[in-house]
Structure 1
């Protein structure tokens, strides 16, 4: 059995940490702008928008801590590394979103029971709009680079910010409509809609993270790339089967059985494994590969009916 992990992750980790620090700084600026907008308007809708940004700030800190923990090397108690720490961050973010929704519902109910006058100076709406633009730009940055860096925590944070942008647009439109029409009850009603929206976001974050914690297999596109890499670099072997995969943070773990001629020497079989592993380092550097060598009579003995002929 042979095993080899990529040695190219240091730059990825540094870049992920920089993005996480950026998320904290962006969240602080956006929170200041949105709270100022709420203070100027006394709008429950803008209050809900500001409260969601407070959750964004807490989530950004959680992502930063998770990335720092996830980059720790394997040790005696965590021999496969700490990569799944990122999933815990995404779960924590989902829980925070749910708590924010509950707080929004409570404030909106209070405003419905005891209507309050709205003061809507243009500067307040402009501040909230600027905050939304900042969130949109940063959300795109997080999702784009988070996918490149294979970081579920960064991608989850970016998707959450996308939702924040959409709700900010709805809040601005609703507050303006409530002021123009005089229907003050539109403001808390809109806040409740925001609460429902972020509840759905929280559920998506938790569901996506649980798939990683439950060792879900990689997607079909990556699996096809994996199979092609094996086929292109396993000359001399007969078959590969029982291909198992799972993802943990930005890393995927791959293991499979490689059938070789019964009379092949250990040295020759090991050379084939080295060739396959070197190809993975070039084409899928985020993969940790384990190969189990089997003699020829084990061909067509796949547990998963996934025989991959190589000769």
Structure 2
């Protein structure tokens, strides 16, 4: 089993346990911050299960229905996860505002504080584990999962701090106020995740820095006349590069092919953490649109 799949199973199990603890204590105590954290953990469980499904199916070999595989499931999972985070944040915001308007008391603060301390420690360990997997694999789904639990870590810390302050001061308005702050931060964290996933689903080009590196490799090839029609995109952890390289008309097919192989290897070295697929067109003359116009 891939380490990415193991990571999603671990996160799903931990999220389920956190839901059980937080939801029970949140209902007993009436704390909107603890309930918000419980709802977020419940969504974590659903999202982690979906991430496992996405990783499992994205590994399948290309077939007659999906000639290029199913790697787009990874950015799709990231978009869905970001959307779920945003929707849960809106629900938390609504609950917090309602509590602030109506007012409420918080009971069993000692139990709530104990559960949040345990949640903080467990979530910190999970974030460390997911970050290490994300760095090793460069997988977008695991990066999204790590980001999600990182927001949980910060929100858990904030909830714990608010409960401690309330236990000493009895300023219960801090609880819904913190819920509002957590919801805003969750939306802010989810936006880049959704944006990156959507761009990948739309086959957006690689970032300008990566394209500049590719052009640098092409411009350094002394045995080609020019290049044109450079196109790039990314699907999950896979990068696709297409380009036309122009040779002298006297260059043999064998020599041109060897140059193409050399460029293909250079592209792979540019992105060692990704799987790179190169489509290099060997042109005996410049057949670009600009050349035809000239």
Shorter chain as denominator, the TM-score bin is 0.7 to 0.9
> After superposition, what is the alpha-carbon deviation per residue over 1:233-282, rounded to whole angstroms, capped at 9, x for unaligned?
x5633333332111111001001111112012223222222333344456
Structure-2 change in CA distance of 1:228 and 1:18 (3 Å): farther
Q: For 1:143 and 1:217, how far apart are their aligned partners in 2? A: 26
How do residues 103-118 of structure 1 correspond to structure 2 at under 5 angstroms?
Answer: 103-118=91-106
Match of 1:277 among 264, 269, 280: 264
TM-score, length basis structure 1:
0.82
Over the residues paired in the alignment, what is the CA RMSD in angstroms? Answer: 2.7
Higher RCO, 1 vs 2 (CA within 8 Å, ≥6 residues apart)? 1
The equivalent of 1:79 in structure 2 is 67
Structure-2 change in CA distance of 1:178 and 1:159 (3 Å): same
The equivalent of 2:78 in structure 1 is 90
Q: Which runs of 5+ in 1 are unaligned?
A: 1-12, 304-311
How do residues 122-271 of structure 1 correspond to structure 2 at under 5 angstroms?
Answer: 122-227=110-215, 229-230=217-218, 234=221, 236-271=223-258
Match of 2:276 among 272, 284, 287: 287
TM-score, length basis structure 2:
0.86
> After superposition, what is the alpha-carbon deviation per residue over 1:70-120, rounded to whole angstroms, capped at 9, x for unaligned?
112222232222111111111111222233223323433443354333224
3-state secondary structure, aligned to 2:211:
helix
Q: Which runs of 5+ in 2 are unaligned?
A: none
Structure-2 change in CA distance of 1:19 and 1:228 (3 Å): farther
Q: State whether residues 258 and 291 of structure 1, in contact with CA within 8 Å, keep that contact through their aligned partners in structure 2.
A: yes
- The Cα of 1:209 is off from its aligned counterpart by 1.1
3-state secondary structure, aligned to 1:139:
helix
- The Cα of 1:48 is off from its aligned counterpart by 0.7
The count of aligned residue pairs is 290
The equivalent of 1:20 in structure 2 is 8
Q: State whether residues 50 and 77 of structure 2, in contact with CA within 8 Å, keep that contact through their aligned partners in structure 1.
A: yes
Structure-2 change in CA distance of 1:220 and 1:105 (3 Å): closer
Q: For 2:144 and 2:88, how far apart are their aligned partners in 1? A: 17
3-state secondary structure, aligned to 1:257:
strand
